[in-house]
């Protein structure tokens, strides 16, 4: 009789559970949340959405007039430049007066970021997953209980060893038994234990192989998803006017997201 091997139902469900996280994964993006003028300075507030602690960014701003002419903004400070960590409520300050810029027209403000990846390399992640299923995935995508895969994997190995020992013990008893009825029971029990041992062993092999493949894909997709350049452009309209109390000229801005 040939033994048909398949994954236990709980292993299959385990993979379905974590596959849902892959389907829900989204790329990092920049979100400009606020623009404000204070003391003749423009404050640009932005967030990194779906960013991780292992990501760092090189951030800069491009400002363009409605005619397409670029404004040479030099007096920039705040969360701009290299090694900006991904988080919310980042702020860039532009002192346009210091740059000798008069804002009296529509301009485009674009926050741009190049991303540096500090995640482990694919090879290292695969090596970790070959030692303990889920360990490489935890390094690539921290915060999720991938370690449970290791528990399942080594439980399957332990189960295979236990069932195998029971199968051998029952088979030895079968060969030493002189009672035909007891012998038949011992042989049937040995065959069942041997079958369970093989199911556990092949399931463990399948889990290890599937985990390594998943880790390689996850590591590659993670890098592809966060490699490149992200930007967020806002159109800003400036309106000039005169303050009746101070008799000084000023302006307000209007923008849309």
What CATH number does residue 41 fall under? 2.60.40
- The mean of the pLDDT values for the chain is 75
The percent of the chain in helix, strand and coil, each rounded to the nearest 5, is 40, 30, 30
Flag whether 49 is in a domain: yes
Instruction: Examine the domain organization and report whether 69 and 94 are in the same domain.
Output: yes
Instruction: Examine the domain organization and report whether 244 and 159 are in the same domain.
Output: no
Range of the domain at 154: 120-226
Flag whether 20 is in a domain: no
Instruction: Examine the domain organization and report whether 143 and 221 are in the same domain.
Output: yes
- The three-class DSSP label of residue 47 is strand
State the pLDDT at residue 234.
Answer: 57
**CA pair distance 45, 61, nearest whole angstrom:** 12
Instruction: Examine the domain organization and report whether 50 and 112 are in the same domain.
Output: yes
User: Which positions ≥6 away from 158 have C-beta within 8 Å?
Assistant: none
Instruction: Examine the domain organization and report whether 97 and 188 are in the same domain.
Output: no
Flag whether 164 is in a domain: yes
Closest CA to 207 of 155, 161, 168: 155
Flag whether 150 is in a domain: yes
Q: Are 107 and 98 in contact (CB under 8 A)?
A: no
Read off the pLDDT of residues 138-186 as tens digits, 9 standing for 90 and up: 887 777 888 889 999 999 999 999 999 999 999 998 888 888 888 888 8
Read off the pLDDT of residues 180-207 as tens digits, 9 standing for 90 and up: 888 888 899 999 999 999 999 999 999 9
Q: Are 94 and 76 in contact (CB under 8 A)?
A: yes
**CA pair distance 46, 210, nearest whole angstrom:** 39
Instruction: Examine the domain organization and report whether 151 and 186 are in the same domain.
Output: yes
| Tokens 């008893």 -> residue | 173
State the pLDDT at residue 239.
Answer: 45
State the pLDDT at residue 236.
Answer: 56
Instruction: Examine the domain organization and report whether 196 and 212 are in the same domain.
Output: yes
User: Which positions ≥6 away from 126 have C-beta within 8 Å?
Assistant: 136, 212, 215, 216, 219
Instruction: Examine the domain organization and report whether 86 and 38 are in the same domain.
Output: yes
Flag whether 16 is in a domain: no
Q: Tell me which of 226 and 78 has the higher pLDDT.
A: 78
Q: Tell me which of 35 and 208 has the higher pLDDT.
A: 208
Instruction: Examine the domain organization and report whether 221 and 234 are in the same domain.
Output: no
Q: What are residue 160's phi and psi, to 5 degrees?
A: -65, -40
Flag whether 163 is in a domain: yes
Instruction: Examine the domain organization and report whether 134 and 210 are in the same domain.
Output: yes
Name the domain count of the chain: 2
Instruction: Examine the domain organization and report whether 112 and 204 are in the same domain.
Output: no
- In angstroms, the first-to-last Cα distance of the chain is 68
Pinpoint the alpha helices (H) of the chain.
9-24, 122-131, 135-140, 148-176, 180-226
Flag whether 3 is in a domain: no
Residue 117 belongs to what H/E stretch? strand 107-117
Q: What are residue 103's phi and psi, to 5 degrees?
A: -95, 105
* The model's pTM: 0.46
pLDDT confidence of 232, banded at 50, 70, 90? low
Quote the distance between the C-alpha of residue 229 and its chain's center.
17
Instruction: Examine the domain organization and report whether 140 and 150 are in the same domain.
Output: yes
Average pLDDT over residues 240-254: 41
Flag whether 69 is in a domain: yes
């Amino acid at each position: 009789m040939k033994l048909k091997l398949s994954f236990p139902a709980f292993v299959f469900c385990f993979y379905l559970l974590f596959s849902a996280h892959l389907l829900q994964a989204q790329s990092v993006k920049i979100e400009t949340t606020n623009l404000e003028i204070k003391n003749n300075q423009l404050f640009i507030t932005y967030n990194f959405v779906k960013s991780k602690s292992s990501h760092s960014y090189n951030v800069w701003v491009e400002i363009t007039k409605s005619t397409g002419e670029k404004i040479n903004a030099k007096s920039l400070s705040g969360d701009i430049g290299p090694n900006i960590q991904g988080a919310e409520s980042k702020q860039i300050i532009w002192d346009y007066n210091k740059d000798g810029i008069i804002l009296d027209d529509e301009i485009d403000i674009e926050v741009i970021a190049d991303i540096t990846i500090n995640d482990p390399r694919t090879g290292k992640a695969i090596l970790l997953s070959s030692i303990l299923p889920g360990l490489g995935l935890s390094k690539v995508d921290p915060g999720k209980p991938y370690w449970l895969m290791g528990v399942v994997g080594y439980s399957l190995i332990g189960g295979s060893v236990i069932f195998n020992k029971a199968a051998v013990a029952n088979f030895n008893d079968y060969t030493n038994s002189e009672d035909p009825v007891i012998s038949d029971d011992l042989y049937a029990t040995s065959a069942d234990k041997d079958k369970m041992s093989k199911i556990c062993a092949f399931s463990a092999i399948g889990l290890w192989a599937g985990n390594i493949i998943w880790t390689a894909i996850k590591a590659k997709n993670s890098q592809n998803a966060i490699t490149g350049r992200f930007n967020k452009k806002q159109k800003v309209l400036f309106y000039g006017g005169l303050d009746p109390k101070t008799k000084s000229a000023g302006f307000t801005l209007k923008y849309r997201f």
